[in-house]
Amino acid sequence: MERSYQHLSDQERAAIMIQAGEGHSARSIARSLGRHVSTVSRELARGQKEVGSYCATRAAEAYRHGRRRTGRPRKLVPGTWLHQWVQDRLCLFHWSPEQIAGRLRRRYPEQPSRHVSHETIYAAIYAHPKGELRKALTEALRQEKPTRGRRRRSATKGGSIAPEELSIAYRPEDIDSRLLPGHWEGDLIKGAGNRSAVGTIVERKTRYVVLSRMRDSSAEAALEGFTRQMKHVPAQMRQSLTYDRGSEMARHAELARRLKLDIWFADPYAPWQHGSNENTNGLLREFLPKGTDIGEASQTELNDIARLLNQRPRKALDFQTPQEAWEEELAQFSKTVALDS
């Protein structure tokens, strides 16, 4: 049989005060109220100023005071350092609650007072009073991934642009392991009516993002855009590029020659074979929504967006940022070169 406990009401306290004043025992009072004797005994002790003198008013005040002291103290209190830190990462840097929580644990491993769970952050957002701040906080949350539409065709009108020998099936196995840096995944995201495009390239090990402004989604635009931006990447960090079979890669041989890297093509309708790039494209839609003319974004603006993504802590990197992981790889390469020389 299920039992449910209810706190004493003011009427019950009044009855206890009257019966206790008449000299009734705790057991007798409990029987008349249909309560357990221990409930009445605790209530008498709470409301007694001196032996034999129970006051219902005093007992009710003691009860309410005790209730205010129950429960865990709030961690995200407005005006505190932790609250401001969380709010800034949500609203200014567009981090997710999970990224914020993981980054705090990584940054302050020996200071539990500076840790907060992502559930606590969500609870604080939705419990916040309505108003501009509540609106800003909820809008800062990562949008749910949209339902995918029809897949685009991966081949050009005259057949596939990917030679069989460049199929991902022949890609070296050490690229799959993500143990070595310098291996990238690429794609285009397109604007309204496919009239504008942005090239996206992601380094597989560090998740470091490079964005390229394109004048359109043609093969010539992809060749020029990817060449221009990837030339800023140190040569030793340009080992390979895995791409889908979109027609914009029709000039892949020239791109491989210019950047001195190998190009591999994923299988048709297999987005998991370039999953890091697929994930990045989803994140980019927060800044470059579908149905808009993304061609209006300048390269400077795209660099700012890439910087925001590269400075977000990532769970896959144990809440390091891609920027930190990238710089570690560059430093490691420099150290290796110095030892070899």
The Cα-based distances of 86 to 103, 122, 144, 331 in angstroms read 11, 11, 21, 30
pTM of the model: 0.63
CA 15/CA 153 separation, integer angstroms: 80
**Phi, psi torsion values for 320, nearest 5 degrees:** -75, 160
- Which pLDDT score is estimated for 157? 41
Q: What are the residues whose beta carbons fall under 8 Å from the beta carbon of 77, sequence distance 6 or more?
A: 83
CA 318/CA 341 separation, integer angstroms: 33
- Which pLDDT score is estimated for 4? 56
- Which pLDDT score is estimated for 123? 76
CA 324/CA 322 separation, integer angstroms: 5
Dihedral sign, CA of 59, 65, 71, 72?
negative
CA 139/CA 286 separation, integer angstroms: 11
Return the DSSP state at 314. B
CA 265/CA 249 separation, integer angstroms: 10
**Phi, psi torsion values for 314, nearest 5 degrees:** -120, 135
CA 326/CA 314 separation, integer angstroms: 13
Q: Give percent of the chain above pLDDT 70.
A: 84
Q: Is the pLDDT of residue 156 over 50?
A: no
CA 26/CA 44 separation, integer angstroms: 8
Whether 184 and 242 have beta carbons less than 8 Å apart is answered as yes
Q: Is the pLDDT of residue 50 over 60?
A: no
CA 150/CA 271 separation, integer angstroms: 13
- Which pLDDT score is estimated for 321? 96
Return the DSSP state at 167. B
Task: State both tokens at 202.
Answer: 């992601």
Q: Domain 164-340, what architecture?
A: 2-Layer Sandwich (3.30)
- Which pLDDT score is estimated for 274? 92
- Which pLDDT score is estimated for 69? 64
**Within 13 A of 250's CA, how many CA atoms are on the CB side?**
12
Domains of the chain, residue spans: 10-70, 81-140, 164-340
Which DSSP helix (H) or strand (E) runs through 326? helix 322-340
Q: Tell me if residue 328 falls in helix, strand or coil.
A: helix
Q: Tell me if residue 186 falls in helix, strand or coil.
A: strand
Chain segment 51-104, per-residue pLDDT in tens: 557 888 888 887 777 766 665 667 888 889 998 999 898 888 888 888 999 999
Residue 246, classified by CB atoms within 10 Å of its CB into exposed (0-12), middle (13-18) or buried (19+), is buried
Q: Which amino acid is at 167?
A: S
